[in-house]
Amino acid sequence: MGIGTSMKETTLHYYRDPLVEVLSADSDVNLRGILIVGSPDKNEDKYLSAERVGVSLECMRVDGAVFSCNGIGNNHVDYAHAIEETEKRGVPTAVLSQCPAKDFVVQNNHLDGVVCYYKSLDRMEQPGDETKVLAENTVTEMDARRALALLKLKMRRWEEAGKK
């Protein structure tokens, strides 16, 4: 199972990315930047890439981060580790994914399952099925708003718990 037609993010989607638009329009958020990270083939490179993401966000002194993954399966190895490396450094994360955290090929304590969701579960008989409509299962404005709300909630909880 790979990324099919409905999960492809088109060039137009990147130019008008709902996640960037929602984050940059929110007066409570200071959008510091966007990290784009590929998915290396070798496992040791996946771990190195994930660590670099965490270190980069720590050095930027961000209060929180929203992760979005355009892929499933093998991509979740470095994705899950990047989330772990980021949260280990005191940066809470909200996670957008095309499948629930419980279905990731790797697991860790930082995948709480609350912020991971399947994009089109209502349109599929089982996770992984394709709708075959171009870009139907990409991040929408509602998804972005949900991620921002979840990030704010997680940041508040971390602050109350003294993690931050």
Residue positions counted in the chain: 164
- Residue 9: predicted pLDDT: 73
Judge whether 16 lies within some domain.
yes
Judge whether 35 lies within some domain.
yes
Closest CA to 97 of 79, 78, 122: 79
- Average confidence score pLDDT of the chain: 83
Which range (2-6, 97-101, 154-158) has the least confidence? 2-6
Overall domain count for the chain? 1
161 vs 3, 11, 139, 156, CA distance in Å?
A: 38, 41, 30, 9
Judge whether 79 lies within some domain.
yes
Judge whether 19 lies within some domain.
yes
Domain of residue 150: give its range. Answer: 5-159
How far is residue 20's CA from residue 15's CA, in Å, rounded to a whole number?
9
SS3 content of the chain, % helix, strand, coil (to 5): 45, 5, 50
Q: Where are the beta strands (DSSP E) in the chain?
A: 65-68, 93-96
- Residue 2: predicted pLDDT: 53
Judge whether 164 lies within some domain.
no
Task: Please tell me the pTM assigned to this model.
Answer: 0.84
Which range (21-30, 38-47, 64-73, 99-108) has the least confidence? 99-108
Top mean pLDDT of 15-19, 46-50, 100-104 is at 46-50
User: Tell me: the pLDDT tens digits for 112-153?
Assistant: 755 555 455 555 555 555 667 777 777 888 889 989 999 999
Tokens found for residue 53? 């993401």
φ, ψ for residue 93, nearest 5 deg: -130, 150
User: Tell me: the pLDDT tens digits for 7-34?
Assistant: 677 777 778 889 999 999 999 999 999 9
